[in-house]
Amino acid sequence: MKALCWHGKHDVRYDTVPDPIIEHPEDAIIKVSACAICGSDLHLFDGFMPSMKSGDVLGHEFMGEVVETGTEATSLRVGDRVVIPFIITCGQCEQCQRGNFSLCERSNRNAEQAAKMFGHTTAGLFGYSHLTGGYAGGQAEFVRVPYANTTHVQVPSNLSDDQALFLGDIFPTGWQAAMQCDIQPTDTVTIWGAGPVGQMAVRSAMLLGAKQVICIDSVPERLKMASDGGAIPINFEAESVIDRLQSLTQGKGPEKCIDAVGMESHSSSTMESMYDRVKQAVGAETDRPHVLREMIYVYRPGGVLSVPGVYGGLIDKIPFGASMNKGLTWRMGQTHVRRWTDELLQMIVEGRIDPSFVITHHGKLQSGPDLYKTFRDKEDGCIKVVLAP
């Protein structure tokens, strides 16, 4: 079959690889009808994730038709149309029983090795390095889905692929980010990052009834999309984020902040001048993570910081004293996709939201290598790419 494979930093290729086969009775094989490129794939593309091997099949946002099932994969049938959550979910372990699906204790077959190396691990993920199980991804014609009984969402026939696809990752991710904020009708919710995850967080915060939603980025098309969704846009290259947030909140700061950027955040002029002041005052160098620092600086004491943005383990310097003194609540994690998919699917069916609004580019799977670059460099107004094998 054909698939998009990782061969190193900035090197994605359209390769021929072996077809997947059933390896375990609970597996299913999916024929992919649509897949997407995620901001998390860019961490692989940019070479930030260790433990990728040349030839690994990429992709964790995909859907399609069931073409084969193992003898114990009894909750889905050949011909079913399904979206696959990017988190592989056994459904049986203690964490899955608690709804903490992204912490599944069984689906990451390399968990022990990852924990030894970095002191932490997650559930098994598709197409996301050998630290998360080394499972082949869904930017391919076919995928093997382990623990298929619980790792799928049935899609009603009246929804298009574009409407349903994002149930596998970015819609639940934006939704969980907003849910973690316990949004009250008096709250200002500020979202750093107007990429696909930030866009879903904006819509989610609006649906959850925030008084005011603000979205920060520097890419005009992305800010326009956020503002079409009801957010007040702030361009961090054109204005001072902190001054603008203060003025939008009567000097108090937003009580709910979402980091939808992650470890590759750019520094803004606001942060640079703050680093200078800190350096002058205490002689200490300060540095990344820029967005978390900006959030901690500006949020209203007693507030919540919700972090869907991905970070790489032990390498970040977090200003913990400021978090402690301001009484901050941190809430974060990989998304517990299956915890949210029933209610989000219902919202799509009822027409309360159509997540396909975020798609700017459609292409064939073979155009994937070019479209990774287009998405990475935000060329041609690119916000979300959907590929068809």
Binding footprint of Zn ion on the chain (CB under 5 A)? 38, 40, 90, 93, 96, 104, 106, 169
Q: How far is the CB of 156 from ligand NAD (least distance, A)?
A: 24
CA distance 371 to 338: 28
What are the two backbone dihedrals, phi and then psi, of residue 101, each rounded to the nearest 5 degrees?
-65, -30
Of 290 and 384, nearer to Zn ion (C-beta) is 384
Spatial CA neighbour of 125 closest among 164, 92, 97, 89: 89
368 part of the interface to ligand NAD, by CB under 6 A: no
Of 36 and 213, nearer to Zn ion (C-beta) is 36
Q: Which does 104 bind (CB under 5 to 8 A by kind): ligand NAD, Zn ion, none?
A: Zn ion
Of 184 and 269, nearer to ligand NAD (C-beta) is 269
List, as one string, the DSSP characters of 240-275.
-HHHHHHHHTTTS--SEEEE-S-TTPPPPHHHHHHH
Inter-residue contact 61 to 38 (CB < 8 Å): yes
The interface with ligand NAD within residues 20-59 (CB under 6 A) comprises 38-40, 42-43
Question: Quick one: which of 266, 277, 317, 364 contacts ligand NAD (CB under 6 A)?
Answer: 266
Of 152 and 290, nearer to ligand NAD (C-beta) is 290
- CB neighbours of 241 closer than 8 A, spacing ≥ 6? 216, 234, 268, 270, 294, 298
Of 29 and 165, nearer to ligand NAD (C-beta) is 165
CA distance 182 to 94: 25
Q: Is 282 helix (H, G, I), strand (E, B) or coil?
A: helix
192 part of the interface to ligand NAD, by CB under 6 A: yes
Stretch that binds ligand NAD, among 50-58, 255-263, 277-285, 364-372 (CB under 6 A): 255-263
Question: Quick one: which of 217, 231, 256, 355 contacts ligand NAD (CB under 6 A)?
Answer: 217
The number of angstroms, rounded, from the C-alpha of 216 to the middle of its chain's C-alpha atoms is 17
Q: Which does 93 bind (CB under 5 to 8 A by kind): ligand NAD, Zn ion, none?
A: Zn ion
Spatial CA neighbour of 175 closest among 380, 292, 315, 347: 347
- Judged by the rule CB under 6 A, the positions of this chain that interact with ligand NAD are 38-40, 42-43, 169-170, 173, 192-198, 216-219, 222, 236, 260-262, 265-266, 268, 290-291, 308-310, 334-335
